Homo-oligomer: A and B are copies of this chain.
Amino acid sequence: MSPPTMEDVARAAGVSRALVSLVMRQAPNVSDERRARVIAAAEELGYRPNAVARSLASRRTHTIGVLLNDLHNPFFADSADGIIEEASSAGYQVLMATGTHVNQSHTAAIESFLNARVDGIILVGPRFTPEQISDMASHVPVLTLGSSSDGHGVDSVKNDEYRGACLAVEHLAGLGHTRITHVSGGRGAGADSRRQGYARAMADLGLADHVDVVVGDFTEESGAEAADELLKRAELPTAVFSANDIQAAGLMGRLAEAGIGVPEMVSVVGYDDTTFAGLYQLSLTTIHQPVAEMGRQSVRSLLDRMVGGRTEPRKLVIEPSLVVRRSTAPPR
């Protein structure tokens, strides 16, 4: 009735339970003959090792918990993809949760990760306080993807937002733009650095007087609203550096509705190089970060701590790059 256990396999093969256990874990010190017998018996019975029991006994679940903001943003979807791929090829499973923007559901998700005794946690996006993070890190290795963070047992993988913002501004300035407005990402992960990078680059290029920030967030609507805001003004900027691609799309859409051509009237640069930035119809110049690869790196870094025994924190910073498409051009 109930699925066969090691006991059953052992009996069928005429050996002890321990031997079956050794064979299942591919231990080296087992005679070929017995190994074959065990494998045959297991096959015969349709034996399937019970990972739950194994976890309880070995105190390792081979599972990592991944908490994302939401899956709609391709940025998150892509990192999830990288994470899952690398995890599974390392023999780990992924427990996935999304916080529905409500911090409470975030903490509930963490709670359930800890109850499930995951071997590690990857946080992508959600804003936790340093206390919350070090609290979870006291139970299990934690890594934040997309934002940096300090603390014992906490690693991070992110791109150099600051540098990315500089690339964007330098590109626009190089085309001859001076009135470059930034639509910010508000309180979202990485938003601060992008804004600071913008301000710093503007200053370095002697454009400090033209620094102009419209507050937004990482959504399409906020891009549209920012466009409305700009359209109210006496004079449009000649270029906009948007905090991310989705926002840029919203902004460009609203501008188009108002009859403002991109890049003829206004150049637009995004951030993230998400899938749709490359669509012919958008063809958005943007800052690329290798998201899937960063997801893979996250898993490797976590594994390195979980099984490799590393203990000092590691902060990985990836270099972003500029991808020029058709949404930018010299000012008229």
Whether A249 contacts B281 by the Cβ 8 Å rule is yes
The answer to the question of A55 belonging to the interface, with a C-beta cut-off of 8 Å to chain B, is: yes
Across the interface, do A53 and B51 meet the contact criterion of CB distance under 8 Å?
no
Q: Which of A94-102, A126-134, A191-199 faces chain B?
A: A94-102
The residue from B49, B112, B253 contacting A281, defined by CB atoms under 8 A apart: B253
Q: Select one of B71, B77, B275, B279 contacting A253, CB under 8 A.
A: B279
Question: A323 near B: Cβ within 8 Å?
Answer: no
> For A71, A72, A84, A275, which residue has the most chain B Cβ atoms within 10 angstroms?
A71
CA distance A84 to B69 in the complex (A): 12
A72 to B73 CA separation, bound complex (whole angstroms): 10
A80 CB–B CB distance under 8 Å: yes
Quickly give the copy total for this chain.
2
* Bound-complex Cα distance A55 to B115 (A): 11
Residue of B nearest to A116 (CB): B51
The yes or no answer to A257 lying at the interface (CB within 8 A) is yes
A112 to B78, CA, bound (A): 22
A109's partner among B71, B88, B139, B249 (CB-CB below 8 A) is: B88
Please determine whether A115 and B256 come into contact, CB atoms closer than 8 angstroms.
no
The listed residue (B81, B88, B95) touching A93 by CB distance below 8 A is: B95
CB neighbours (8 Å) of A112 from chain B are 51, 88, 93
